[in-house]
Chains A and B, each alone.
With several copies, the nearest count.
Chain A
Amino acid sequence: MDAYNQESYCGAVRPAERESPKKEEDDAARSIETYDGELQDKKRRRRVLAGRILVGIFLFAGWELFTRIGWMDPYYWSSPSEILKTAWVQLTEGTLLRDIVYTSGSTVIGFVTGTLTGALLGLSFWWSKTYAGISEPFLIILNALPKLALGPVLVILFGIGFFSKAVLAFLMTVVTSAISAYGGVKSVDPALETLMVSLGAKRRQVFTKVVVPWSMPWIISSLRINIALALAGSIVGEFISSEQGVGRMIIYAGTILDINLVWVGVFVLSILSMLMYWGVILLEKWLSKRLAIISS
Chain B
Amino acid sequence: MSESCKIEVIGVSKIFRRDGKNVAALAETNLAVREGRFASIIGPSGCGKSTLFNIIAGLMPPTTGDVTVDGQSIVCRAGTVGYMLQKDLLLPWRTILDNIILGLEIRGEPRAKAVERALPLMEKYGLKGFDSHYPNELSGGMRQRAALLRTLLYDRDIMLLDEPFGALDAQTRLSMQNWLLEIWKDFGKTVLFVTHDIDEAVYLSDDVYVFSARPGRVRAKIAVPIERPRKPEDLTTERFMELKHHLLELLSEERDPAEEIS
Contacts and interface: CB of A to CB of B under 8 A. Distances in A.
Interface of A: 6-7, 9-11, 13-14, 23-24, 26-28, 31-32, 34-39, 191-192, 194-201, 205, 209-210, 213-214, 216, 291-294
B20 interface: yes
A212 to B, nearest CB: 10
Contacts of A7: 76
Contacts of A6: 76-78
A27 B76 contact: no
A192 B85 CA distance: 10
28 contacts: A6-B78, A9-B78, A10-B61, A10-B76, A11-B60, A11-B61, A31-B51, A32-B54, A35-B16, A38-B17, A38-B18, A38-B19, A192-B89, A195-B85, A198-B58, A199-B78, A199-B102, A200-B78, A200-B103, A200-B106, A205-B106, A209-B91, A209-B106, A216-B93, A292-B94, A292-B134, A294-B93, A294-B134
Given A26-B87, A191-B89, A10 B106 contact: no
Interface string B139-170: 00000000000000010000000100000000
A14 B60 CA distance: 8
B192 to A, nearest CB: 14
A205 B104 CA distance: 12
B136 interface: yes
A11 B62 CA distance: 11
Q: Which 8 A-B pairs have the closest CB atoms?
A: A200-B79, A10-B76, A28-B86, A28-B85, A198-B83, A199-B103, A213-B93, A201-B106
Interface in B93-136: 93-95, 102-103, 105-107, 134, 136
Contacts of A201: 106
Given A38-B18, A191-B87, A197 B93 contact: no
Contacts, number: 105
A9 B50 CA distance: 20
Contacts of B79: 198-200
Given A34-B16, A201-B106, A28 B60 contact: no
Contacts of B162: 28
Given A28-B50, A198-B83, A213-B91, 20 more contacts: A7-B76, A10-B59, A10-B60, A10-B61, A11-B61, A24-B136, A28-B86, A31-B50, A38-B19, A192-B89, A194-B54, A194-B59, A198-B57, A198-B78, A200-B78, A200-B79, A200-B103, A201-B106, A209-B106, A293-B92
Given A32-B54, A32-B59, A199-B154, A191 B18 contact: no
A193 B59 CA distance: 11
Nearest to B23: A34
A191 B162 CA distance: 13
A92 to B, nearest CB: 49
Contacts of A32: 54, 59-60
A199 B106 contact: yes
B19 to A, nearest CB: 8
Contacts of B134: 292, 294
- Max chain A CB contacts within 10 Å: which of B76, B78, B86? B78
B92 A292 contact: yes
Contacts of B103: 199-200
Interface in B3-50: 16-20, 25, 50
A210 B50 CA distance: 22
